[in-house]
Structure formats: C-alpha cells, structure tokens
C-alpha cells in the first residue's frame, strides 16, 4: 500500500531493543498513495495466494467456515456487479445491518470497490434508530438477514430513500436473495479509481447528546488506523497473529480496530456472534482458535475479571490485549498482569478520529491512569477554549490537529456541526484531559460529564477508579446531581459484586473509602445501588442518561 507504517514498522521492529518511542514518532511520515481503495488494499492484493486465510467464522453451533482472501474477493466482486445492476452508483449509500460474519466484510468491500459509501448499522437498534439512520444517510440499498428484514418491514413505508433490500440467509418476498444475486453476477470487477480522500463510509456516533451524527470518512480511514492498531498490539502484525473482538462490526471499534486492519495486514480474523457477552465463553473461544490478539471493550474486561484462574482453566495463547472507550483503572490492569500474564494496552480515540493515543509496553512504561502517548502520525494536545495548547498538568480539552488521515471528512448533512467541531486546525474531541511533561495523556471525562460542585470542577474517572477498588464493587458510574447549596454534588451509581448485599452501612463505607483515597471535596455524597447501567450500543456507560434522570427526579433544569 505504500504507507510508511509498512516501511518503518517492518524495519524497526526487527530489533525492538533499538527502538525508542521518540525515534518512531519523529521519523514517521505519512506516504498515502494518490490512488487508494480499501476494497483492493484489504482484500484483492492478498488474493493471488488462493489459500491465504482471511476469516474464521465460528457459528457457535459447533460448526465453522474458513474464508480465504480469494473467496472474499470473488464474492465482493460479484456483489459489486450485482449492486451496479440494481442501479447503485458511485457515491450511493449501501447500509449493512448484520452481526459478525463473512457477509459483513463482503458487503463493505463491494461498496468500496463500487465507489459507493457503506453505512454500518447495529442489529440491536430499535425501529426509530434504524429509521433515522437509513433516512439521514439516504441509503438506497440495505443488506441484512431474515430476522432484521422482518423488523424493517414494520416501518418500510417510512424509509424515504430505500429502493432495494438484499437478504443474505433466505429468499423472502419483496427482497433480493443474496445467493441468487451473486450466482448471476460476474466474479471479476474493476474497482473504482478512488483517492484516500474520496468518501467510503458513514459511521454514526452513539448519539449520547442529541440525534446521532454520521461521521463521513474517506478511504484514508484504513491506513490512518494502522499505526494506532499496531502500537497497542505490540507491533502487529507478528508471525501467528490471529485477531478477535466481541465488539460489534457495526462500530468503528469492530470495523477499524480489528476487521479491516487485520485484513490489510493479511492476518486472519475470527468472526463470532455473541448476542450477550459471556466471559467464560470468550475464554473458550480464545482457547479454541488460538487467538493471539484481542480488542476488548472495558466493560467486557471487567466481566472477564470475575472469572477465577483463567490461565489454569484454559490453554491461552494470547499475545496482546488492547482496550479503549472508557478508562480501565488499576484493578483491571493489575488483573491482566496477574491472571493472564499480559499488560493490557489502553488506547484512545473516537468515531470522528480514532486511535490517536496509545500505550505500548515494549516502547515505554505505562503510567498510573494514563491512556498513553500520541501515536506516531498524529498531533494530539490539550487545548483551552481559545484553541491554544495548555501547559503540562493543566486540564483542558483533548484535541487532534488536521490534516490527519484517520480524521473524518465531515458530518453527513451537518455543516454547522462540522464547523463547531473545530477551532482553527484543532479538532475538539469533547473530552477533558491533561498531559504531563513527557507527553502522557490522562482522561478526565466527557466535557458534559464534568461535575461542578462548590467551585470545584470534578471529573468522574478518578472517583470511579477508587470505587472499583472497593472489594464489594463491580462497576460504577459517577455524575453530578443537582444541589441547591453546591450547584451539584457527586453521586455514585454502584453495581455490587455477586453475593454482596446493598445497605446504608455499605453506602457509608463506600463514601469513606473514596474520601480517604481521592479527597474530601470529591467523595460521593450520594450513593445509589443499581443492577445495571444504561449503555450506548458500543458498550459505554451513558452518564448523561443518569445525570438527566437525576435532574428530572429533583425537578431541576440542567445547566
């Protein structure tokens, strides 16, 4: 492909002892080709070796399929021809409503080769969320399965732009059947001549505040991700690497933290649908296929932490674990060291600009509560309201400087929102944080998660970290609850470990626990025990939902 990752990473990692973070960061330069198409890069260029393994599809019923790059190429070529036959043209949107499986990469690859724009959709979305995304994106074609097609038919007349539905697993009335379409389509296809900046995919944000926004990315999104994928996976690809994630392939974390970077590297990926995450089943799957590299959302890792003696129960060949989306905390990081013999490398990014900060144990020692340092190829800083970088140790907003190949092109149909995302050349993440003298970044919280109490600005991350160290606490979420005297007080929502009983005495113990560890101005004055948390579809705790409920309950208007 010609990116400097292939040149620099491949050469420098032959002798890791001679590699320094500073040297990698200073020497890295993007070398994107003038013509670039994800479909060719992530699939076709590997297909000359007809036996080269691309995908292992574990169906979960004791059976599996193995797909080569050659097979992915032929199927995606046929689908691209079929889409063209349905009138789909360059720039048209092709929505993909499927769980992990071979049809997902084939559908996206076909759209990329055609020059169309793919739109991944989460199968657990309700009717309103699906209707909104399909209409907002103007999707002309939807690729789905029978189960989700039946749901779509309930509100089909509300979908203003949808012309064709392709069902992958059976013939149904009113839709095209995948097998028949591909059978009648040619297996050769000349991919559209696209540039790195040509639109490739619209990935909708989780929509924690207001309607979800569609982040439009160019074909450059894949090469832009490569340094940020390789770094937390200790210079992937290495011999024997095999990737898996429980994260749904409708999200940037599933698609571009794992699936397409792995295919770019020529490294196989395990596909497996988990309707609900089961930590023991996750360990079984890792053992079964000899998975060496996993991206695990923090919530999944915290659930796996409850499984006793995993190394004794399963023969694991894990080489790397990467995690991002929420701070992990020392408790989970220490569990990784003790229970798995691995350091979990945390990273940071968001849908609009992903994987720009990361840890890598081989390059530099991790620091307490730090999400790492800027990934080579990305300029990251903490800025003030005017867009000026602040001094080390000062809390501000984390920002990324453009141009940057992993950065989104714009929000779909939202020029005002796009403009508001930038101050000069800095893309504002909406996350508060700080950076130390050596460039380590520390997450404080979402800008709207910051608690304003008696003149103090308090981030939830440090308090939540202290809470989960309590022996009775499994997970926690901290928000500001309205208070007539202080403006807001710190409130902790706490999910207890199995067998631990909620009580007023335990709530008081938890308050004192945090007070002695974090400070008298930051301890939770209110503690509420819960069985579960409201989550975004990508697995992050929705603090904004908890905060809104608090304000509604107390009859106070949010500031």
Helix (H) or strand (E) holding 516: helix 504-517
Kindly state the tokens that stand for 391. Answer: 């001094």
Q: Which residue has the higher pLDDT, 27 or 486?
A: 27
Question: CATH classification of 70-217, choosing from 3.50.50.60, 3.40.50.980, 3.40.718.10, 3.40.640.10?
Answer: 3.40.50.980
What is the tens place of the pLDDT at every residue in 454-474? Answer: 656 677 877 888 899 899 999
* Mean of per-residue pLDDT scores for the chain: 91
Report the chain's terminal Cα–Cα distance, integer Å.
Answer: 49
CATH topology of domain 450-553: GMP Synthetase; Chain A, domain 3 (3.30.300)
State the pLDDT at residue 557.
65
Helix (H) or strand (E) holding 285: helix 279-289
Helix (H) or strand (E) holding 350: strand 344-350
Q: Is the pLDDT of residue 239 over 90?
A: yes
Return the bridge partners of 30, or none.
none
What is the tens place of the pLDDT at every residue in 385-432? Answer: 999 999 999 999 999 999 999 999 999 999 999 999 999 999 999 999
Q: What is the mean pLDDT of residues 196-217?
A: 84
Sequence-ordered list of residues with C-beta below 8 angstroms from that of 11, at least 6 positions apart, any chain: none
What CA–CA distances, in Å, run from 152 to 19, 120, 134, 474? 52, 15, 11, 37
Q: Is the pLDDT of residue 195 over 90?
A: yes
Domain with CATH 3.30.300.30 in the chain: 450-553
Q: What is the mean pLDDT of residues 38-63?
A: 97
Domain with CATH 3.40.50.980 in the chain: 70-217
Q: What is the C-alpha to C-alpha distance for residues 78 and 166, in angstroms, rounded to an integer?
A: 13
């Amino acid at each position: 492909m010609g990116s400097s990752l292939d040149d620099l990473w491949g050469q420098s990692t032959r002798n890791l002892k001679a590699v320094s973070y500073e040297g990698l960061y200073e020497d890295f330069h993007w070398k994107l080709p003038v013509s670039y198409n994800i479909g060719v890069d992530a699939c076709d260029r590997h297909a000359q070796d007809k036996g080269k393994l691309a995908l292992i599809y574990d169906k979960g019923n004791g059976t599996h399929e193995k797909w080569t790059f050659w097979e992915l190429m032929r199927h995606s070529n046929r689908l691209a021809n079929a889409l063209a036959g349905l009138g789909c043209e360059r720039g048209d949107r092709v929505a993909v409503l499927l769980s992990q499986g071979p049809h997902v990469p084939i559908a996206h690859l076909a759209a990329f080769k055609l020059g169309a724009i793919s739109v991944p959709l989460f199968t657990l979305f309700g009717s309103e969320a699906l209707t909104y995304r399909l209409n907002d994106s103007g999707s002309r074609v939807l690729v789905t399965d029978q189960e989700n097609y039946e749901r779509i038919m309930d509100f089909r007349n509300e979908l203003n732009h949808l012309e064709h539905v392709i069902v992958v697993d059976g013939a149904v009335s009113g839709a095209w059947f995948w097998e028949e379409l591909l059978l009648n389509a040619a297996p050769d296809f000349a991919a559209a001549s696209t540039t790195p900046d040509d639109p490739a995919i619209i990935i909708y944000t989780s929509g924690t505040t207001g309607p979800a926004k569609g982040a439009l990315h160019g074909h450059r999104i894949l090469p832009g991700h490569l340094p940020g994928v390789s770094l937390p996976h200790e210079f992937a690809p290495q011999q024997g690497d095999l990737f898996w994630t429980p994260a749904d392939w409708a999200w940037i974390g599933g698609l571009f933290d794992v699936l397409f970077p792995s295919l770019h590297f020529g490294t196989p990926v395990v596909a497996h649908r988990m309707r609900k995450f089961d930590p023991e089943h996750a360990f079984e799957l890792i053992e079964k296929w000899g998975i060496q590299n996993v991206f695990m959302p923090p919530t999944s890792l915290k659930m796996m932490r409850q499984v006793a003696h995993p190394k004794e129960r399963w023969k694991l060949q894990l080489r790397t674990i990467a995690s991002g989306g929420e701070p992990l905390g020392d408790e989970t990081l220490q569990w990784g060291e003790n229970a798995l013999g691995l350091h979990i490398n945390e990273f940071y990014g968001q849908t609009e600009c992903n994987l720009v900060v990361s840890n890598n144990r081989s390059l530099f020692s991790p620091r307490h509560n730090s999400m790492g340092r800027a990934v080579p190829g990305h300029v990251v800083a903490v800025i003030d309201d005017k867009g000026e970088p602040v001094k080390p140790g000062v809390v501000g907003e984390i920002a990324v400087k453009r141009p940057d190949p992993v950065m989104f092109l714009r929000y779909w149909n939202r020029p005002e929102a796009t403009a508001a995302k930038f101050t000069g050349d800095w893309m504002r993440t909406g996350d508060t944080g700080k950076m130390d003298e050596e460039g380590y970044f520390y997450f404080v919280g979402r800008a709207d998660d910051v608690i304003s109490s008696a003149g103090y600005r308090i981030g939830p991350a440090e308090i939540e970290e202290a809470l989960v160290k309590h022996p009775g606490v499994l997970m926690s979420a901290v928000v500001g609850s309205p208070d007539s005297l202080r403006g807001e007080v710190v409130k902790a929502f706490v999910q207890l470990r199995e067998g631990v009983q909620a009580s007023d005495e335990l709530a008081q113990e938890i308050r004192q626990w945090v007070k002695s560890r974090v400070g008298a101005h930051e301890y939770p004055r209110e503690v509420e025990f819960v069985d579960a948390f409201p989550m975004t579809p990508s697995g992050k705790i929705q603090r904004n939902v908890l905060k809104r409920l608090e304000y509604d309950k107390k009859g106070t208007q949010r500031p």
